[in-house]
Amino acid sequence: MSQLSFAPPYHSPAHVEAQIRDHGFAVLQPSDVALWLGTTLGELHQMDPDWSDLPPDAFLRDGGRYRFRRHSCFVVEQGVLRQVPHRAHWQPVEYNALHGGMQRMFAPMSDATVALPVWHQLVEQLAALSSALFDPAPVPGPCYVEAHQFRIDTAQGIGRPTPEGAHRDGVDLVAVFLVNRAHIKGGETRVFEANGPAGQRFTLTEPWSLMLMDDARMIHESTPIQPLQDGGVRDTLVVTCRRGEFQGDKELQSVQD
C-alpha cells in the first residue's frame, strides 16, 4: 500500500451549503469546523477520550476484529436536540451489502459526552444544514440523527474503515469527522458521484477535519489502513441526518405487526 496521499480540497465554512448543493460534498479544515459549529477546537477535543473506550464491533461479517464503536440516536426538532431511547442500527442490503438487514445493537455513547454543550452544538448545526438542504417545508420537520463513534486499529494488520466497500448510507446528509489518526498508512477518502463520472480522493489527516456529503448524490469509501508501528489507529465520528423517521422504522414495525 503506497503512502502517497492527496491533500483534502478544503472549502470555506461560509459556503458549505452552496458547495454541497453544487458539488455534492464539502470538506472543512479543523479551525473552520470549529468556526462553522460556533465552538472551539478545545471544546471539540473534550470528546477525544471516548475513542479509547469503544467496545469491539461484534457484528463484522468478514471475521475481523479491527473495529470498535458506539452508537446513539437523536431527534432535532425546532433546533432542539433530544436523545431517543437506545435502539439498534439498521440498513437495507441495497445500501450495505455486507451488514444490511441486521439489527445491530451497539453500546451507546457515554452520558457525559451527550451532555456536553459542544455535542449539542455539533448535532444541532448538522441538523440545521440537513434541513436547509433537504426539507423544503416552511417549518422543517424533525431531523432524525444517528451518531457513530468508530476506532479502526491495526493490531492484527489491516484495518478496514468501510468493509462494505464504496456505498451510500440511505440518509440525507452524512458527516465524517476525523478525530485522530496515528501510526498508519492508507485510510484514503474517496467520494464520487452516484450517477456521474466526477470524483475525488484525498486523505484526512488533521484531527477534527470534516467531510459533509449529500448521500443521495455521492458514493463514498475509505481505503484500508496498515500499521507503520504499534498502536496504529484511525478514529472517526460519523453523524447522519434523515427526514421522516429513522432508517429501519418501517421494517421494525412490519416485524412487530
Provide φ and ψ at 152, rounded to 5°. -110, 125
Percent of all residues in the chain with a pLDDT value above 70, rounded to a whole number: 89
Q: pLDDT tens across 71-106, in order?
A: 999 999 999 999 999 999 775 556 554 454 467 799
Task: Give the residue extent of every domain in the chain.
Answer: 23-254
- pTM reported for the whole predicted model: 0.92
Q: What is the pLDDT of residue 89?
A: 79
Q: What is the mean pLDDT of residues 43-66?
A: 91
In this prediction, residue 202 carries a pLDDT of 97
- Is the pLDDT confidence value at 257 over 50? no
Average pLDDT, the chain: 90
pLDDT digits (tens, 9 = 90+) for 208-233: 999 999 999 999 999 999 999 999 99
Could you read off the pLDDT of 177-207 as tens digits, one per residue? 999 999 999 999 999 998 888 899 999 999 9
The pLDDT score that the predictor gives to residue 61 is 66
pLDDT of residue 168: 85
Q: Which residues contact 121 (CB under 8 A, 6 or more apart)?
A: 37, 38, 39
CB 202 within 8 A of CB 9: yes
pLDDT confidence tier of residue 30, bands split at 50, 70 and 90: very high
pLDDT at 255 over 50: no
